[in-house]
Structure 1
Amino acid sequence: MIPFVDLKAQYNSIKNEIDTAVFQALDSTQFVLGSEVVALEAEFSHYCGADYGIAVNTGTSALHLALLAAGINPGDEVITTPFTFVATVAAICYTGATPVFVDIDPISYTIDVRQIEAAITARTKAILPVHLYGQPADMGPILDIARRYGLIVIEDAAQAHRAEYKGQRVGSIGDLGCFSFYPGKNLGAYGEGGMVVTNNPEYAHKIEMLRDWGQKRKYHHVLKGYNYRMDGLQGAILRVKLRHLDQWTQARRAIAAEYDQLLAKADVITPKVMPYSHHVYHIYAVRSKSRDTLQQQLHEQEIQTGIHYPIPVHLQPAYADLGYQLGDFPHSEAASREVLSLPMFAELSTESQTQVAMAVISST
């Protein structure tokens, strides 16, 4: 079996470092927040090119608190894309605001910047672009629109650790950037985790309080907050893994380049890297008109695949109350029917990759 992702292979490659860090964290008994989390915040924010980092328990919590820090309230509108993991939209709804969808660009799979301005109303307060699959959204036009209309830009960088837009690391480009450390991410915890990065000290201070019951100091609750704190163990683990992220990213990009060559003769569309983008390939998604058949044939050859994502958010039953219908966002809907994610992880062997590619070619 060729796995879609192999977390055991990654762990084995850094086992001694991880085990040492975990035992030290256990010995410190700083199990919630603590010195390892503080150090991770400084190291990861610096890595992103941002002044502040605030660690939280999930990427969803990062989005939620970023929206709250930016002043998003019930009745406000936040523009985003329906072709994303549901957490992007859920976080907007947690604030009481309304998600307003804009279709994706069919080449990059990120928000179509040409359609954003038409979606702006008097209630629009923010734009929330998603750096999907590890490719940055086209941030230049987004920032230009935001400046002209006085809007906040919050980057969903959950899949884009170390990705760059025109040489600048994502997360530090908008007003706030949100990351997930879910285990399968390019930088993944051994459990859940997330981070908000920003250059705005007021946003950072507010998020620090909101993640810890709204406390300015212990038992002094300034805000109605949440229990969104990061575990000390995850801070220690992520600090180790951050030191390897550059190497892992280079490996992913090399694997993607090899896939591009191997699949040149296959009847699939391979990912397109936009000219402004340093893609980090959290997902390597091909497109096929016969996606479901292709996936089944790969499964029969013991090759695991994924679909990111089979139903766009505007067609999910949970979000039917937003009032969107089939056909409202044709590019998102087409992508949801056609994308198939192939095995992608830094330790993927050349032999396994070639086997995947030959199976795709023979099945299309």
Structure 2
Amino acid sequence: MTIPFFPPDLFEADRPLIHDLVFEAGTTNRFMLKDHVAALEDGFRRATGAADAIAVSSGTFAVLVALKAAGVGPGDEVIVQAYCCQPVASQVIALGATPVFVDVTADTMVMDPARVEERITPRTRAILPAHLFSCLVDMAPLRDIARRHGLVIVEDACVQQGATQDGVAAGRLGDVGTFSFFQVKAMGGCGEGGMIVTDDPEIGRRCRMLRNHGQDGATRFLHHIIGFNSRMDEIMAGFLNHRLARFDDILRSRARIAASYTERLSVLGNRITLPPPGVEGRCYYIYAVQSPDRDALRAFLLDRGIATHIYYPRILPHQRAFAAYADPRDRLDTAIRAARQNLALPIYPHMTDAQADAVVDGVLAFHTRH
């Protein structure tokens, strides 16, 4: 049985819808920031409980726009986790600010709040926690730290749409939150797209101007601030409205597969680290395990036709693009270990029970032989 990590048929059932949306946009001259975008923003406000939702062109731009709207600029420092996708650092740098790297926790592989306060300086402006895989950063202690030091929290929830913590939707656990609709995300679109949510009216107002060349949306060619071209198009928004309507079903399907993985793989004990059990309201965008024999396990599964994926095999400050921002004081041992040991198993909503069983059978068979 061949089981791809990124299934090639993610959008096959949506082919007629995509054709209709492209035709509509191409023949009505309603391509950007029109009815579909407004409907998506309204749907996201209702789904998250946020006061405002601002659609943008990508998850990366969502981070950039949110940081700038929150006041991050030249000379500032922003605390980010060392083990993560690159936009958490690159978009800080794009604004003339400096990323300050902190370690992650061993079981979740996300920002360790215990490592944050020691890296705060008079230049620190914001904390940028990123929820990865199927785990959320523990946000309560981060909010306490931010409150004591007068910092803003820009929350990267790009892979945790639909998740909750303490009954609050991911993206609303800080001052402003960001999401990505890249194709393979949990609510992936047929291209690029992103969303920003906030309860702060001033941040929301600035985000709307920043995404559209600094215009206020009422008067064209009147630019209040220097902004970007980060507008979501109507094709993407129309498609995402379709996905949002059935997103709960998507989350349930992913959670069901993840539960079967955890139940069967738990017999391996400490030979492999599974996503922490008993966590409420998570989005299983990725099911990532940690294995000291990661590379051998990956090769074994591939021999059985099972594709896996390694996310972020090298921590950010150990990469050339970010080396200038590395600090010898950084204690990043857990992040380094996560980069060496993480392995994502295939998981997607239309995965069959037979495919899920084959994945687990492969992991168990590897450990039987080793």
**TM over 0.5, shorter chain:** yes
Identity of aligned residues (%): 36
Shift of 1:363: 1.6
- 1:270 and 2:274 aligned: yes
Query: Which moved further from structure 2: 98-107 or 23-32?
Result: 23-32
Give the letter aligned to residue 271 of structure 1.
P
The whole-number CA distance in structure 2 between the counterparts of 1:192 and 1:16 is 19
In structure 2, the partner of 1:79 is 79
In structure 2, the partner of 1:238 is 240
In structure 2, the partner of 1:288 is 291
The whole-number CA distance in structure 2 between the counterparts of 1:26 and 1:259 is 44
Give the letter aligned to residue 269 of structure 1.
T
The whole-number CA distance in structure 2 between the counterparts of 1:134 and 1:212 is 32
Give the root-mean-square deviation of aligned CA atoms. Answer: 1.7
The whole-number CA distance in structure 2 between the counterparts of 1:18 and 1:250 is 24
SS of aligned partner of 1:314: helix
Structure 2 gap segments, 5+ residues each: none
- Per-residue Cα deviation, 1:190-232 (whole angstroms, up to 9, x for no partner): 0101111111111111111111111232111111111111111
Shift of 1:142: 0.8
Equivalences for 1:137-148 in 2 at 5 Å? 137-148=137-148
The whole-number CA distance in structure 1 between the counterparts of 2:112 and 2:45 is 28
Give the letter aligned to residue 5 of structure 2.
F
In structure 2, the partner of 1:66 is 66
In structure 2, the partner of 1:177 is 177
SS of aligned partner of 1:177: strand
The whole-number CA distance in structure 2 between the counterparts of 1:117 and 1:325 is 17
Shift of 1:55: 0.8
SS of aligned partner of 1:134: coil
Query: Which moved further from structure 2: 23-32 or 127-136?
Result: 23-32
- Per-residue Cα deviation, 1:276-304 (whole angstroms, up to 9, x for no partner): x4221111011111101111111121111
The whole-number CA distance in structure 2 between the counterparts of 1:139 and 1:326 is 24
Aligned match for 1:301, one of 297, 301, 304: 304
In structure 2, the partner of 1:168 is 168
Structure 1 gap segments, 5+ residues each: none
Give the letter aligned to residue 298 of structure 1.
L
In structure 2, the partner of 1:150 is 150
Aligned match for 1:218, one of 211, 217, 220: 220
The whole-number CA distance in structure 1 between the counterparts of 2:190 and 2:162 is 19
Query: Which moved further from structure 2: 235-244 or 34-43?
Result: 34-43
SS of aligned partner of 2:314: coil
Q: Contact (CA 8 Å) 2:107, 2:273: kept in 1 or not?
A: no
Shift of 1:244: 1.1
Query: Which moved further from structure 2: 72-81 or 210-219?
Result: 210-219
The whole-number CA distance in structure 2 between the counterparts of 1:137 and 1:60 is 19
TM-score (norm 2): 0.93
TM-score (norm 1): 0.95
- 1:41 and 2:4 aligned: no
Query: Which moved further from structure 2: 157-166 or 197-206?
Result: 197-206
In structure 1, the partner of 2:4 is 3
SS of aligned partner of 1:132: coil
Give the letter aligned to residue 333 of structure 1.
I
- Per-residue Cα deviation, 1:96-137 (whole angstroms, up to 9, x for no partner): 111111100111211111121111111111111111113221
The whole-number CA distance in structure 2 between the counterparts of 1:167 and 1:293 is 40
Give the letter aligned to residue 225 of structure 2.
L
Give the letter aligned to residue 347 of structure 2.
M
Q: Give the length in aligned residue pairs.
A: 362
Give the letter aligned to residue 288 of structure 2.
A
Q: Contact (CA 8 Å) 1:21, 1:240: kept in 2 or not?
A: no
Q: Contact (CA 8 Å) 1:262, 1:354: kept in 2 or not?
A: no
Shift of 1:271: 1.0
